[in-house]
Chain A
């Protein structure tokens, strides 16, 4: 298993990774999530051996690997935008790591054919990289990374530049491949849906440190902090002191903020709850997303099945578990 302890990477005055701890068990898929600039890619590069640590230590299977150069770690790293070799064809890219490990020609060929089958690119071996679509390049990059059977798999935004439909399909394919691997997998992304779909556990990164580590379900049910809530797309965040004054909302003013889950709020004209004015109504798959404003000027997003018109007045109420307290 992978064990990162108090890892620190500095670029001059900038601390990209700051005393970071992370452990990943064999067979476990951990998604590292964070906004851009939070140090996710630098963490992966440090684990791969491309970025020396300024402090702390990384060990694998009980052995400290800080002094082992990148080419002897036997880890696999899949780069953002793939970094495929433009001077080699598909086969040449997948074969590269195998050649570096000294496999003979027939063993390389067998393994390349197997990898092409695995990622669904059988027959595309002689194709030039420049002629491939984005999704095909992603599959070649995955095959190149997996071909030498790395002890650890690191993926940096592997689906970053692809369109939505393709991402869903590739996520299923990758999940199926990871399930067969007994290696730890670290999957860096800024996309909530990707992280939730692929990971056993999500580690949230902020300013070079991991501030939360939990299963996708735990994270969704209890984001814990405004930062995490916003990161996973929950942005109805309102000061607790404000919500405490709204009729029908029994919130203790403990200071800090509360998260209001749009799908657990209701709008009605029955006079119970907090009076609001509708600002706009947007239909999206599965219902309406209504933006309403309270008398004290707070904007709240509500998910309903009903259409509302701008300027209507209504009453906002909370169902069970609609309100969660957040630390800041």
Chain B
């Protein structure tokens, strides 16, 4: 039984819009960055690259970017692996709920995470220690942010490893530690590598967290690109840094692609639900300690953020929230309600763009021959590899000609859509591919034409997955800061931009309002993610 394929002409027609969009808003700006880097001195030269590579401070930034990402990854693994083990192997009350909640930090906007940690370990922090501007603040926030990747990514894999393999090793004379190193870890390795590369990538390109918690005492390439552009107006240096970062990310993506390919190839024995209630006192203690640690580590920063937002100078109340809506001082370039309206409008526009482009691309990939599909897949996943800051920077550098779009209000949702398109494709494509051909055949035999078949058979099944992708796009747009920071204009600031401006203003009132706005942003994002979870039930998929 052969799958019905699109004709090459039909594929080309469907792909026209996505290819044009990606070319103009992604490939062209990236090329422009390259070109700007190479021709900054007026003639073709590699000088800016040499400058970057020979400047001690910029080399320091590059080195810091790499090592903090590496340490963040290792720390997250060290903290997350025991939790992954507990969720994979033990059944206890609240397990499903807690596993669901563990995703919350991961979907929080980076600015909210940064703000939450400021309230905890910043100046006047709840813990009484000020780690702002130290590498520790950045590392802890990265662990907080990426915890769920290990718990869910490694944990769901661990669950599928037959526990009797470990028991067999024990009976054959292996101590618990040797059982882990000789049996469990080798089987787990693909999942650990995949999670580790993802965490490394996210820490490598981390922007909001480093900007707020590093306080410019520590900057990554991402922050430095932003600073060179907006503070020093050194576009040539920024271009060279962006190219440097792109190369790093490219290498990482290849590694990630390899490991995730292996991960899907070599599934170990599946044993159904292998989790059991803890039996011994030691096991109960371990489960209890791990779960308690997770709840405190993930819960406290959020709780402190909420509590602080409710505590205006000396008292307890909603003054900060009221202030957001009534303040008329010009500290804002926009008022908070305007920022919220902007964010929601942009998010909706980004959702529409990302869904149209993403679904067109997914359909043309799902119904094409495997060779064409592979090309489409890798081409359209490209934006996943570029950092948000690079996208924003590219817009700034490139989009003045042939048409000057830099002042267009559509630029922000377009940038957000670029970040979101890979997510739309990733959530809908596997579902589209899984629709059984015999259902389509049945509809065709019953008299439905090709378009009608798609509408009657494919669309109802795929609609939920598209809904998941759409909600993702919405949530991503709400929290997006890196690209927005470049292209935002005074009149169209979004919520993350407003939070960042409030944070950089002096005074306890502004700080309190930044937290109140962060809480509102967190609630909005949380609502869209809960919507995703409800849709996703039944369509499968991890993270």
CB–CB A100/B167 < 8 A: no
With known contacts A79-B168, A85-B168, A100–B174 Cβ distance under 8 A = yes
CB–CB B170/A50 < 8 A: yes
Interface residues of B in 172-197 (CB under 8 A from A): 172-176, 178-179, 182-183, 186-187
CA distance A69 to B280 in the complex (A): 13
Number of A-B pairs, beta carbon distance below 8 Å: 74
With known contacts A70-B171, A76-B171, A83-B165, A12–B277 Cβ distance under 8 A = yes
Distance in Å from the Cβ of B164 to the closest Cβ of chain A?
4
Collect the chain B residues with CB atoms within 8 Å of residue A74's CB.
173
Residue in A51, A73, A86 whose beta carbon sits within 8 Å of that of B279 in the complex:
A51
Distance in Å from the Cβ of A218 to the closest Cβ of chain B?
32
Collect the chain A residues with CB atoms within 8 Å of residue B269's CB.
83, 86
CB–CB B171/A101 < 8 A: no
CB–CB A86/B172 < 8 A: no
A39 at the interface (CB under 8 A from B): no
CB–CB A75/B171 < 8 A: yes
A48 at the interface (CB under 8 A from B): yes
- Residue of B168, B174, B269, B279 contacting most chain A CB atoms (<10 Å): B168
CB–CB A79/B164 < 8 A: yes
CB–CB A71/B268 < 8 A: no
Interface residues of B in 272-297 (CB under 8 A from A): 276-277, 279-280
With known contacts A83-B162, A83-B167, A148–B172 Cβ distance under 8 A = yes
- Cβ proximity bits A137-166 to B, threshold 8 Å, 1 near / 0 not: 000000010001000000000000000000
Can you list 23 A-B pairs with a CB-CB distance of less than 8 A? A11-B279, A12-B277, A48-B171, A49-B170, A50-B171, A52-B279, A52-B280, A71-B175, A71-B176, A74-B173, A76-B171, A76-B172, A77-B167, A83-B164, A83-B167, A83-B269, A85-B165, A86-B269, A87-B187, A96-B172, A97-B172, A100-B172, A148-B172
Collect the chain B residues with CB atoms within 8 Å of residue A101's CB.
173
Collect the chain A residues with CB atoms within 8 Å of residue B182's CB.
96
B373 at the interface (CB under 8 A from A): no
CB–CB A86/B171 < 8 A: no
CB–CB B277/A71 < 8 A: no
Closest to B279 in A: A52
Distance in Å from the Cβ of B157 to the closest Cβ of chain A?
14
CA distance A49 to B171 in the complex (A): 8
Collect the chain B residues with CB atoms within 8 Å of residue A85's CB.
165, 168-169, 183
- Cβ proximity bits A43-87 to B, threshold 8 Å, 1 near / 0 not: 001001111100000000000000001111111110100010111
- Cβ proximity bits B252-272 to A, threshold 8 Å, 1 near / 0 not: 000000000000000011000
Measuring CB to CB, which residues of chain B are less than 8 angstroms from any residue of chain A?
A: 162, 164-165, 167-176, 178-179, 182-183, 186-187, 268-269, 276-277, 279-280
CA distance A76 to B165 in the complex (A): 14
- Residue of B172, B182, B183, B269 contacting most chain A CB atoms (<10 Å): B172
CA distance A74 to B173 in the complex (A): 7
Distance in Å from the Cβ of B91 to the closest Cβ of chain A?
10
Distance in Å from the Cβ of B399 to the closest Cβ of chain A?
51
Distance in Å from the Cβ of A52 to the closest Cβ of chain B?
5
Closest to B189 in A: A87
Apart from A49-B170, A71-B179, A86-B268, what 18 extra A-B contacts exist at CB < 8 Å? Answer: A11-B277, A45-B167, A48-B167, A50-B170, A52-B279, A69-B170, A70-B171, A76-B171, A77-B168, A79-B168, A83-B165, A83-B269, A85-B183, A86-B187, A87-B268, A96-B182, A97-B172, A144-B172
Closest to A9 in B: B279
Closest to B187 in A: A87
CA distance A22 to B277 in the complex (A): 27
- Cβ proximity bits A93-128 to B, threshold 8 Å, 1 near / 0 not: 000110011000000000000000000000000000
Closest to A52 in B: B280
Residue in A12, A48, A96 whose beta carbon sits within 8 Å of that of B169 in the complex:
A96
Collect the chain A residues with CB atoms within 8 Å of residue B176's CB.
71
Distance in Å from the Cβ of B92 to the closest Cβ of chain A?
12
Distance in Å from the Cβ of B7 to the closest Cβ of chain A?
40
CA distance A190 to B328 in the complex (A): 81
Closest to B174 in A: A100
**Ordered nearest first, which 8 A-B pairs have the shortest CB separation?**
A97-B172, A100-B173, A83-B164, A70-B170, A77-B171, A83-B168, A100-B174, A87-B186
SS class, residues of chain B in contact with chain A: helix
CA distance A50 to B279 in the complex (A): 11
CA distance A144 to B174 in the complex (A): 14
CA distance A328 to B129 in the complex (A): 74
Measuring CB to CB, which residues of chain A are less than 8 angstroms from any residue of chain B?
A: 11-12, 45, 48-52, 69-77, 79, 83, 85-87, 96-97, 100-101, 144, 148
CA distance A275 to B178 in the complex (A): 71
CB–CB B168/A100 < 8 A: no
CB–CB A50/B167 < 8 A: yes
Distance in Å from the Cβ of B280 to the closest Cβ of chain A?
5
CA distance A192 to B168 in the complex (A): 27
Collect the chain B residues with CB atoms within 8 Å of residue A71's CB.
170-176, 179
Distance in Å from the Cβ of B504 to the closest Cβ of chain A?
52
CB–CB B279/A148 < 8 A: no
CA distance A38 to B279 in the complex (A): 20
- Residue of A71, A97, A144 contacting most chain B CB atoms (<10 Å): A71
Residue in A12, A87, A148 whose beta carbon sits within 8 Å of that of B173 in the complex:
A148
CA distance A49 to B268 in the complex (A): 25
CB–CB B173/A97 < 8 A: yes
Collect the chain B residues with CB atoms within 8 Å of residue A76's CB.
171-172
Distance in Å from the Cβ of B304 to the closest Cβ of chain A?
37
CA distance A102 to B465 in the complex (A): 53
CA distance A74 to B165 in the complex (A): 17
Collect the chain A residues with CB atoms within 8 Å of residue B280's CB.
52
CA distance A73 to B167 in the complex (A): 13
- Residue of B164, B178, B179 contacting most chain A CB atoms (<10 Å): B164
CA distance A97 to B183 in the complex (A): 12
Collect the chain B residues with CB atoms within 8 Å of residue A87's CB.
183, 186-187, 268
CA distance A100 to B178 in the complex (A): 9
Collect the chain B residues with CB atoms within 8 Å of residue A51's CB.
279
Closest to A150 in B: B171
CA distance A194 to B39 in the complex (A): 82
Collect the chain A residues with CB atoms within 8 Å of residue B175's CB.
69, 71
CA distance A77 to B182 in the complex (A): 19
Closest to B186 in A: A87
Closest to B171 in A: A77
Collect the chain B residues with CB atoms within 8 Å of residue A48's CB.
167, 171
Collect the chain B residues with CB atoms within 8 Å of residue A97's CB.
172-173
Distance in Å from the Cβ of B352 to the closest Cβ of chain A?
46
Distance in Å from the Cβ of B53 to the closest Cβ of chain A?
42
Closest to B267 in A: A86
Closest to B282 in A: A52
Collect the chain A residues with CB atoms within 8 Å of residue B268's CB.
86-87
CA distance A327 to B519 in the complex (A): 72
Collect the chain B residues with CB atoms within 8 Å of residue A49's CB.
170-171
- Residue of A48, A73, A83 contacting most chain B CB atoms (<10 Å): A83
Distance in Å from the Cβ of A293 to the closest Cβ of chain B?
44
CA distance A52 to B278 in the complex (A): 11
Collect the chain A residues with CB atoms within 8 Å of residue B174's CB.
71, 96, 100
CA distance A212 to B142 in the complex (A): 62
CA distance A148 to B173 in the complex (A): 9
CA distance A214 to B357 in the complex (A): 74
Collect the chain A residues with CB atoms within 8 Å of residue B164's CB.
79, 83
Distance in Å from the Cβ of B483 to the closest Cβ of chain A?
42
Collect the chain A residues with CB atoms within 8 Å of residue B169's CB.
85, 96, 100
CA distance A257 to B52 in the complex (A): 95
- Residue of A50, A69, A77, A86 contacting most chain B CB atoms (<10 Å): A86
Closest to A10 in B: B279
Distance in Å from the Cβ of A90 to the closest Cβ of chain B?
15
